[in-house]
Amino acid sequence: MTFKPAKWPRKLRSQEWFGGMSKDAIYHRGWMKNQGFPADLFDGRPVIGILNTFSELNPCNAHLNDLAQRVKHGIYEAGGFPVEVPVFSVSESGFRPTAMMFRNLAAMAVEETIRGQQMDGCVLLVGCDKTTPSLLMGAASVDLPSIVVTGGPMLNGYYKGERVGSGTHLWKFSEAVKAGEMTAEEFVEAEASMSRSPGTCNTMGTASTMASMAEALGMALSGNAAIPAVDSRRRMMAQLTGRRIVQMVKDDLKPSDVLTREAFENAIRTNGAIGGSTNAVIHLLALAGRVGLDLTLDDWDRLGRDVPTIVNLMPSGKYLMEEFFYAGGLPVVLKRLGEAGLLHKDALTVSGETMWEQVKDVTNHNPDVILPADKALTQSGGVVVLRGNLAPNGAVLKPSAATPDLMVHRGRAVVFEDIDDYKARIDDDALDIDETCVMVMKNCGPKGYPGMAEVGNMGLPPKILKKGITDMVRISDARMSGTAFGTVVLHTAPEAAAGGPLAVVRTGDMIELDVPNRRLHLDISDEELAARMAAWTPPAPKPQGGYAQLFHDHVMGPDTGADFDFLVGCRGNAVGRESH
């Protein structure tokens, strides 16, 4: 840790708007005063943007206005001037064609929202899956002092006395209905049991994973990730975050001071320990790109190999975020990583303390939720990166959510050309498929879907589910919901729509998955593969115009984070010319 706080007082960038007696300064102050802000708020104190992703069409973030008020309290208490700024809110559960298509758009909007306006620091008020990475990416590209506070997970769901987890049980119940084990009426009743309070998904899905990543990166206060949305301590966390950002501005503690290689390595190992979502791979690669770090898929495989999954949460385990919080939450996991020599203890955090200073004295209150290492869900919990002639640029698999017996498997490919083809044929009992086959779906990557939807965990054919079989090897260039499970190979790169080898797999080809040796192989000759690739043509016309075309033309592959090529890097926060 080499960070040295800046001297205070000094002139802040907000004074480029609010300072002095020029016509422009009076214009900037005067218009703000129509909201009743007293004159002394413009005197050079830190102006803090509370970037609020509230939206009633983003139910996971619909309670954030309340938290924004607590952040404001904290900012005022610490002598800052809070301004609440709504930003583009990407809802996982509603956005079409898929939320991932809009992560980069949100990041771009956030970046310009920060840079173009009179802020000295930012509180990133986030929750649902894409809101956390998009705001982190935008803030990292501006590099003003920034801190994350998340909305927190929903309370536990219960149905017929059993815990039901967001997403995880949606997939389970949906397959139970197909298998004839659950009625449609029971499904509707269970649906209401799953979401019984405000907040984000209560499993270790992508939202909880990304909240954990923000904390493990050092970008949120310690303990933030697991506090339930409706717990009073969530409001306290918001208020303390408001207090802290003011001091961060005075110290000039920026994302680039926190988001170091060591921070990313801590986050990657944390993802293995919590059994986190494969979506974290894409988001952290993209975030690293924003701060100019050369993070790769191979870093994920290398760093995750020795990390046991010790957090016993769905979808890999049995508990939910509420119990993770009661057990002590992420600080306990970080302490355990530190004790195992798997944590960069000196990594700086937004609190101004090192990671180890924050977590070294915490206690595990429930060893059935945060397990001892010898009882880990899997000893090698990190995301596996597979390569081979089917995925020259890599593909990922989450071992803690997979079936051990399928980790080495050779099977006959049953190919779906795209998601529509899959939906049209999967329920047909005449489909020539059995449980030894490998389900392959093409054209669901960034360019193909478009947007790289969470459809990689293709539901199994009903005729196989009725035999009581719940997992098969599945391969695609799609993503998978962090709440989902199965022996599912994802993010196959290059994607089919960009001409990757996945595009030329045919039904009847043999495919070999060998997780211990990190291999994904299409068993045809090199000559045959080359001939098929030479004959390949792109599947659909390129979008003409609008955001869809921008996305298609500039999105990069999943192996580098699927950011836009022109958004990589930090562009800084220099103030431009006068606004009028």
Q: Which residues of the shown chain bind ligand FES in the complex (CB under 6 A)? A: 60, 92-93, 128-129, 166, 200-201, 205, 207
Grouping H, G, I as helix, E, B as strand and the rest as coil, residue 78 is coil
Contacts of residue 514, defined as CB under 8 A and 6 or more positions apart, other chains included, come to 407, 408, 520, 521
CB 315 to ligand FES: min, Å: 12
Q: Which is nearer to ligand FES, 53 or 349 (CB)?
A: 53
> Considering the complex, what minimum distance in angstroms separates the CB of residue 201 from ligand FES?
3
Minimum distance from CB of 260 to ligand FES (Å)?
28
With respect to ligand FES, which residue has the nearer C-beta, 93 or 197? 93
- In the complex, least distance from residue 165 CB atom to ligand FES, rounded to whole angstroms: 11
DSSP codes of every residue in 95-123: -SS-GGGGHHHHHHHHHHHHHTSS-SEEE
E strand residue ranges, 445-484: 473-476
Closer residue to ligand FES (CB): 262 or 323: 323
By C-beta, is 229 or 413 nearer to ligand FES?
229
Nearest C-alpha neighbor of 106 from the set 86, 121, 122: 86
DSSP letter for 564, please: B
In sequence order, which residues have a C-beta less than 8 Å from that of residue 192 and are 6 or more positions away?
Answer: none
Nearest distance in Å: CB 126, ligand FES: 10
Is the preceding omega at residue 9 within 30 degrees of 0, hence cis? yes
CB nearer to ligand FES: pick between 78 and 190 = 190
Phi, psi of 501 (to 5 degrees): -60, -25
Least separation in angstroms between residue 134's CB and ligand FES is 13
Whether 399 and 384 have beta carbons less than 8 Å apart is answered as: yes
β-strand partners of 409: 513
Is the Cβ of residue 81 or residue 324 nearer to ligand FES in the bound state? 324
Question: Of 166 and 349, which CB lies nearer to ligand FES in the complex structure?
Answer: 166
Nearest-angstrom CA–CA distance, 355 and 331: 9
Closest approach, Cβ 382 to ligand FES, in A, equals: 23
- Nearest approach in angstroms of CB 77 to ligand FES is 30
C-alpha distances (whole Å) from 105 to each of 110, 283, 482 are: 9, 14, 22
Q: How far is CA 545 from CA 300, 507, 551, in A?
A: 36, 35, 10
Nearest distance from residue 82's CB to ligand FES, in Å? 25
- Closest CB to ligand FES among residues 61, 400: 61
Looking at the Cβ atoms of 166 and 400, the one nearer to ligand FES is 166
**For residues 137 and 563, is the Cβ–Cβ distance under 8 A?**
yes
Burial of 374 per CB tally in 10 Å (0-12, 13-18, 19+): exposed
Give DSSP secondary structure letters for 341-389. T-S-TT-B-TTSSBHHHHHTT---S-TTTB--GGG-SBS--SPEEEEET
In the complex, the smallest distance separating the C-beta of residue 231 from ligand FES, rounded to whole angstroms, is: 17
Question: Which token pair is 106?
Answer: 């949100």
Nearer to ligand FES, 207 or 520 (CB): 207
